[in-house]
Structure 1
């Protein structure tokens, strides 16, 4: 049996305020093409199908068209819910969609109820473990004192292994899970609802199955030969701009896992960071190759440019982020040097000049009065403190 592992579609996500639905629909079409070209039997999606628990109507439509394209390409689909999905909403109608080849495994109580598919060598069991939040799932999994994700996942996997032991000999097993496994690296675009190390789980929690299709982290990673992240099909932060997005094609035979191949996905739109003055960024030939990318610009003009984003978009229509970085260096150190040995009035005069223009005589009188009032307040406070300690 041939399985395609993809995850973290995050349908409906925006990128610095830019709608990505067109990009997401395009990449789902590419995944469907891989299914057809490689003769894939099953596509597994371990969580974060949507980016929000209540996806927009447009996001739902894009996702449904993606599912339909994959089914037309010849594969059964098995998906679980992640920490971004609403398990209830994603799983709505799952009894009906399963009849059409879309299996939505979102119920914690059903972690030991696999989808059973068959090839020439017998059954292949697909167990779906949705994202398990300890506070919500520990009672349902029969571990009321559990506090960590590791304890909760161990309870779920105990049920999986018990069911697997009851099956006919030779059954192969695939587990879909949405979790942060120890040894993997986050990219920065995964939004976590936990802090510290309490969210992580050990790879050993998955012992006893042939392949573990992981979701949650956005870069392809191998924890063990049969424990892997496929990563997201699109980059969702500039920290992912160097990633090669991919899907994993997994083959199982009569003995279990036979091999895993990473199949790179095309770049729908590149991500680039560029640095320079507005004039340099608009004129330099060195940036010609990134004009159609999503662009994050660091501006080094001596003064903050006015309406810089609008100006940059004349050349980079997909510029989505910019920041101004003073060319002189560290702002804090430079500020200390500028104010050292100067009076409060001189500092205030310079501040007004920097943020507006040269202060008038009336402005200076207002500043002098404010400084005098602040000094009087300080003297009264000091006198009160001396009286209390006398």
Structure 2
């Protein structure tokens, strides 16, 4: 049996306000091509189909198209919900569409009930575990601790109880942060009480574990892998190679795995230096069509930096400023102690812009500060009333 392991589609997500839906649709096209070209029997999606619990209608339409096309392909489809998904919405109608070869598992109550498939070597039991929230499951499952390790440990106890009565190879899908893998900047924190890690040993004895949640591919053991997201969702993923795992099962279990790279719609680049150097360096011509994050080191800060950078790098999305030569001893406390609010504001303008405020601007700032001062004529009773904290 040949499996194609993918996860973390995050349909509907944007990249620094750039729409990604067309790129996500291109990945779905690629996935269908891999299914046919590689003669895939089962596609596994290990959670985070959507980017939010209430996905945009266009994201729902793309998911519907993807599921319908995969149902019409040679492959069966097994999907679990992730921490970004609404389990109820993603799982709606799942019992009705099982017969179409699309198996969506979002309910913790179904943990321990596998999707059963057959090949020439016998039976394969696929246990698709949805994202398991320890807070929601602690009481009904009588968990010994409030942690992801406890929730997944109980889920795997139920999986092993089911497997004990079967002569079958085993596949598990799980959406979790498993020890030994490195996160990027684009995953949502799922820690509970500061505890999010799950030990790899939780999945001991399973022939293949298809993990989701982290956006980089990882091989924790030959049997335990993350596919990562099919697209980059933060500049921290610049060096990631995106794609899916193609996994073969033989009579004894896993027979091999290889990574199938996904198309890259637009590369990521991180540039660092003074603005004039970046605009004139011929070696940076390769980044003209990339999504670009720039860190400028100019002192003073250049005017119209984004506008100027986009004349050469049209897809510049993020600018940060790290001016060279600034004193490490110039702490905020040392710069404000014993000085007026107006002087501090004037310094802020000068630092931010690299030039002092004009006389008109200085007068406007002074008037603004005067307007914010305590009014000596204010009602004394009113002034002593407690002020409610903002929610």
Report TM bin, short chain: 0.7 to 0.9
- Following superposition, the deviation at residue 327 of structure 1 comes to 2.9
Q: Is residue 76–residue 102 contact of structure 2 (8 Å, CA) maintained in 1?
A: yes
Report how far residue 178 of structure 1 moved.
0.6
| Deviation digits for residues 346-368 of structure 1 (CA, Å, limit 9, x no counterpart) | 966972872643558x96xx79x
**Could you say which residue in structure 2 is the equivalent of 1:385?**
none
Q: Distance in 1 between matches of 2:95 and 2:18?
A: 35
- Corresponding position of 2:249: 252
The answer as to 2:60 corresponding to 1:60 is yes
Match of 2:31? 31
Q: Distance in 1 between matches of 2:345 and 2:64?
A: 61
| Structure 2 gap ranges (5+) | 375-391
- For 2:62 and 2:150, locate their aligned partners in 1 and report how far apart those are by CA, in whole Å: 36
1:228 is the counterpart of 2:228: no
- C-alpha displacement at 1:278, in angstroms? 3.4
2: CA distance between counterparts of 1:78 and 1:154? 22
- The equivalent position to 1:214 in structure 2, one of 211, 216, 230, is 211
Q: Find out whether 1:333 has 2:329 as its counterpart.
A: yes
C-alpha displacement of 1:101: 1.7
- Within 5 Å, give how 1:125-144 maps onto structure 2: 125-140=125-140, 142-144=141-143
Any stretches of 5+ residues in structure 1 without a counterpart?
Answer: 375-390
Deviations, residues 138-179 of structure 1 (Å, cap 9, x unaligned) = 333x32543111111111111111111122x2x111000011
Equivalent residue for 1:159? Answer: 158
Aligned to 1:173: 170
1:3-14 maps to which residues of 2 (within 5 A)?
3-14=3-14
Q: 2 CA distance for matches of 1:351 and 1:154? A: 56
The match for 1:205 is 202
Q: Does 1:298 align with 2:295?
A: yes
Counterpart-to-counterpart distance in 1, 2:134 and 2:348? 54
1:229-264 deviation per Cα after TM superposition (whole angstroms, max 9, x unaligned): 111111111111001112111111111111111222
Contact in 2 for aligned 1:25/1:62 (Cα 8 Å): yes
Q: What is the distance in 2 between the residues matched to 1:278 and 1:70?
A: 48
Aligned residues: 364
Determine the C-alpha separation between the residues in 2 that align with 1:276 and 1:86: 43
C-alpha displacement of 1:200: 1.2
Classify 1:353/1:243 alpha carbon distance in 2 versus 1 (closer, same or farther; 3 Å). Answer: closer
Larger Rg: 1
The Cα shift of 1:308 comes to 2.5
Instruction: Please tell me whether the aligned partners of residues 8 and 48 of structure 1 are also in contact (alpha carbons under 8 angstroms).
Output: yes
Q: Any idea what SS the aligned residue of 2:263 has?
A: coil
Alignment partners' CA distance in 1, 2:207 and 2:15: 36
User: 2: CA distance between counterparts of 1:150 and 1:32?
Assistant: 35
Q: Structure 1's 112 and 324: CA in aligned 2 closer, same or farther, altered over 3 A?
A: same
Does structure 2 retain, via aligned residues, the 8 Å contact 1:181–1:200?
A: yes
Q: Deviations over 1:287-327 (max 9, x none)?
A: 21111111111123333333332332233222111122223
Instruction: Identify the range of structure 1 (31-40 vs 304-313) with the bigger mean alpha-carbon deviation.
Output: 304-313
**Structure 2 CA distance, aligned partners of 1:52 and 1:112?**
27
TM-score normalised to structure 1 length: 0.85
SS of the residue 1:78 aligns to:
strand
- Against the structure 1 CA distance between its residues 95 and 304, is the aligned structure 2 distance closer, same or farther, given a 3 Å change threshold? same
Query: Are 1:280 and 2:277 matched, yes or no?
Result: yes
In structure 2, relative to structure 1, the CA distance for the partners of 1:187 and 1:350 (3 Å cut) is closer
Alignment of 1:87-106 (within 5 A): 87-106=87-106
1:319 aligns with 2:336: no
Give yes or no for contact 1:221–1:231 (8 Å, CA) kept in 2: yes
* Alignment correspondent of 1:351: 347
Q: Distance in 2 between matches of 1:242 and 1:202?
A: 26
Q: Say whether residues 1:120 and 2:116 are aligned partners.
A: no
1:234/1:348 CA distance change after superposition, 3 Å: closer
What's 1:261 paired with?
258
Aligned counterpart, 1:74: 74
SS of residue matched to 2:99: helix
Residues 211, 227 of structure 2: 8 Å contact kept: yes
Residue 43 of structure 2 is aligned to residue 43 of structure 1: yes
- Cα deviation 1:11-64 (Å, max 9, x = unaligned): 111111211111111122212211111111000011111110111001111222
Alignment TM-score, normalising by the size of structure 2: 0.84
Cα distance change on mapping 1:307 and 1:4 into 2, 3 Å:
same
Question: What are the Cα deviations for residues 215-236 of structure 1, in whole angstroms up to 9, with x where unaligned?
Answer: 1111111112111111111111
Q: Secondary structure at the match of 1:267?
A: coil
For residue 379 of structure 1, what is the aligned residue in structure 2?
none
